[in-house]
Amino acid sequence: MADDNGRATVSEDGRYLELPWQTDAQALDTVVAEVQRPGALERAVWAAVAELEQHEPYVRAALHRLTQHHDTSGAGAKRPRARLSHATVYTGLAGIALLYARLHALRFPLPAAATTDAAAHAAVPWPQRAAAVARAALATAGLAPVERLPDLAGDGADTLLCGEVGVAAAAAAALAASSDPEDRADARVLGRWVGRQLALGLVAAEQRAPTRAEQERPPSHELLYGYAGWIACGDLVNAALPSSPPLVDEATLAGLAQLVVRDGRRQAAAAAGGPTPFPLWYAWHGKVYLGAAHGLAGIAHTLLRTPSRLPDAAERAAVLATVDALLARCVGPSGNLYSSWPPGADRLVQWCHGAAGWVPALLRAAQASAGDAARYRAAAAAAADVVWARGVLTKGVGLCHGIGGNGYVLLLLASPDGRRPDEATPQAAQAWRRAQAFAWAVMQRPRWQRQGLLREPDAPYSLYEGLAGGIAYLADVWAVLADRGLRPTFLGFEV
């Protein structure tokens, strides 16, 4: 094994692994060669998919029903009572449905039956798996039948990663990958329902007079539980089901984006202690977070994904000025971006908190600001250096706070268009080698778990906390290696 050049060791704070290839070019060459070995990534993905489908009870039950095959391994056994968390993109079935749809979009090969212990569904195409798991997600969330879904209250249950509308949006995207006419028709029904819920939510948000409690603790704007997560629902539906006019009205999404900026400016002006150093300011549970999950990175990324939704030049400028203020005030001595304001300890380097979540936002800022594009790209590269040094996390391989999510930071820098990077471009070539090393790290998950180097996540097979996130990352690395030309997609974030 490449690891024979020096064993992986746990950092002093226990948050990440230190590996020889982070500082030794020859060791890095060795692990990159292992990743590029013909069939290595395919076998790793197939083995991980087989493990997920064997041990995740809700997925196993969905695929068991799909194949209608007598399963003596216990697929029909009594399962724990379902909660919304079992259905969501973040920790549940909807995220795994998106994974299967992504494998189909990448044209990732199906496993040979011999490599999957002749599982009944080994030859089931990815779109059928996606549809079966998507329908299970809908049922688990109480969103079936799709033709008679009630309107929701528009009170925060609408985010892509953690809400009921998010389950519907992900299910629509997964069903859209199917060739079955009923699946595709239901995808459009779900897409229209998502659009209606977001429109109703926007009206309610604009008409709501803030209560005393809301003045002290304003509504959420962040990605996991707030308005940025609402926008992500609409973006996913419209990307997966393009139509004219779009299923989710662009005016609704623009209205939500403008609401986010308007509220951010208002909170900045009204902050305790006087105006803040940030033109946009958002508190979540009384604390100002800066990362992608609960803070400015996720909000800025969402707004910069479609800057045309902010027709007022001052609103667009406020977003970029907020990014500039963060770069000026919130980068610690190590190069990491602090998790919250005012800055505290420099501990976390992961998508949800720290430098990793800021790299995609900085790359979006570069696209939105031609004059400062080089500066933002340089800041993104500097943040990625921190991820390289401290990003092989002990929390697992998921997207939120795992190796897979941190790997995407490097992959997006290396190949924003999904093409195999040109070795003559030093920054892209370096990021590509690093991205492949993180793929190698994901591939070590079974061994490192046995050695006690990785912790068991709360949702060990999910997209954002567990194995599904690692599978998604390996598949995107495989696609770049195959020169597929499909932009790497951090599912649920880069929609």
- Whether 157 has a pLDDT exceeding 70, the answer reads no
* pLDDT(215) > 90: no
- Cβ atoms of residues 249 and 193 within 8 Å: no
pLDDT of residue 79: 45
Mean pLDDT of 269-294: 85
Mean pLDDT of 272-282: 82
Four-CA torsion 252, 253, 257, 259, nearest 10 degrees: 20
**Model confidence at 155, in pLDDT bands (50, 70, 90)?**
low
Q: Is residue 451 over pLDDT 90?
A: yes
Mean pLDDT over 48-59 rounds to 94
Share of the chain above pLDDT 70, in %: 89
- State mean pLDDT over 225-232: 96
Burial 65-82 (b: 16+ CB within 10 A, else e): ebbeeebeeebeeeeeeb
Give the contacts of 442 (CB within 8 A, at least 6 positions apart). 44, 397, 403, 404, 407, 470, 473, 474
Residue 342: per-residue pLDDT: 86
Q: Is 97 exposed, middle or buried (0-12, 13-18, 19+ CB in 10 A)?
A: buried
Query: Both tokens of residue 55?
Result: 């041990």
Specify the pLDDT at position 442.
Answer: 98
| 179 pLDDT higher than 50 | yes
The phi-psi region of residue 239 (left if phi > 0; otherwise alpha if psi is between -120 and 50; otherwise beta) is alpha
Residue 415, amino acid: S
Q: How many CA atoms lie within 13 A of 235 on its CB side?
A: 25
For the record, the structure tokens of 246 come out as 């779009």
Q: What would the mean pLDDT of 230-248 be, rounded to a whole number?
A: 97
State residue 3's pLDDT score.
44
Q: How confident is the model at residue 210 (pLDDT cuts 50, 70, 90)?
A: low
pLDDT at 443: 98
Neighbours of 352 (CB within 10 A): 23
For residue range 376-414, list pLDDT tens digits in order. Answer: 999 999 999 999 999 999 999 999 999 999 999 999 999
Contact status, residue 87 vs residue 144, Cβ threshold 8 Å: no
pLDDT of 78 over the 50 cut: no
Q: Is the pLDDT of residue 196 over 60?
A: yes
Residue-level pLDDT at 310: 96
Q: Answer whether residue 76 shows pLDDT above 50.
A: no
Here the tokens at position 243 are: 């139509």
Mean pLDDT of 93-114: 92
Per-residue pLDDT at 370: 79
Task: Answer yes or no: is pLDDT of 219 > 90.
Answer: no
Average pLDDT taken over every residue of the chain? 90
Average pLDDT over residues 53-76: 71
Indicate whether 463 pLDDT > 60: yes
What pLDDT score does 112 carry?
72
Mean pLDDT over 260-282 rounds to: 86
Nearest to 417 by CA among 428, 406, 407: 428
The mean pLDDT value for 316-323 works out to: 96
Q: What is the DSSP string of 235-274?
A: HHHHHHS--SS-SS-HHHHHHHHHHHHHHHHHHHHH-TTS
Can you give the pLDDT at residue 218?
A: 63
Kindly state the average pLDDT of the residues 265-269. 90
Report the C-alpha gap between 130 and 100 in whole angstroms: 5
